[in-house]
Structure 1
Amino acid sequence: MRYYVGVIHKNEGSEYGISFPDFPGCVSAGASVEELKAGAEEALAGHLRILMEDGEEIPQPSTVEEIMGNPDFADGMPVLIPVAEVVDKTVRVNITLKQSDLSVIDRNAAMLGVSRSAYIARSTAGFPPRNVTSVSDAAGSFRSSKAGRKAS
């Protein structure tokens, strides 16, 4: 388990807010400390997931002393937020595709606002179905699902 320092801020008349100095732009808020904690864990995990999908480097956590020594965070309250260890390392690969397939991938990725790599990774997350053990099984499963839709 890794812990990143979050800095809690609370202005009069506002919700609790938390920011993560190691990840500028990663923030969360909540009406209560319990809500804030849950939102902070979710925001941090989501931010790390996006960085991994985009092939970005995940920094080592800064220390509380380093962060609280920064005047931008000196008025906040530091808290350690846990995240599961990052075990799925992103690797760079070269692939060969038809130009038309690459155009479709790039268009869909742009529509979703993600990188080409992130789009390909997300597209494969649920394929093949769990009961498929070979490419021919996958093709048969796909054909069966299309036939079932036509019959309905």
Structure 2
Amino acid sequence: MELEQPCSINSIKTKIKEEAINRKVPYPMNYLAIVHHDPASCYGVSFPDVPGCFAATDKATDILKNAIAALDDYFSDFAEIPQPRDIETIRTEVAGDLAQGAYLLAVPYIPRDTIKERRQVNLERGVWDAIDEAAKTLTNGNVSEFLGLAARNEILVRQGQIALDD
């Protein structure tokens, strides 16, 4: 981020906001990951569209969660987010891996903008009470953080990207 000297807090905030607006991408984007697993090792996840981004886990149930976190960490360092390619292109590219037992997994990426936006939300009092209680337990009382996590989770569940625990 280039700033002219001297700069004020307001000029820095404006520049950060402009850069965040320029980075907007469709929410969520789905990147195809290739998952490898040998019986004596952990699950390894890599992204053909995101070279250098990897995840690993010992448990199959943590593959998607760790892959989402890997994308989030990886993209937090880059100003430009690549557009994911279509499944047929990826399938052709990794055909050898797929033939050896690897599989493809769609991994959603919802960018975490650093710019917060204030919105008014009207809910029933009982819902607010439940939100307040859940926020105390899950986000140290931070209702905004809880609502953001709940919304992300709901988006991913509705898209079939994650399943609710029974």
TM-score (norm 1): 0.50
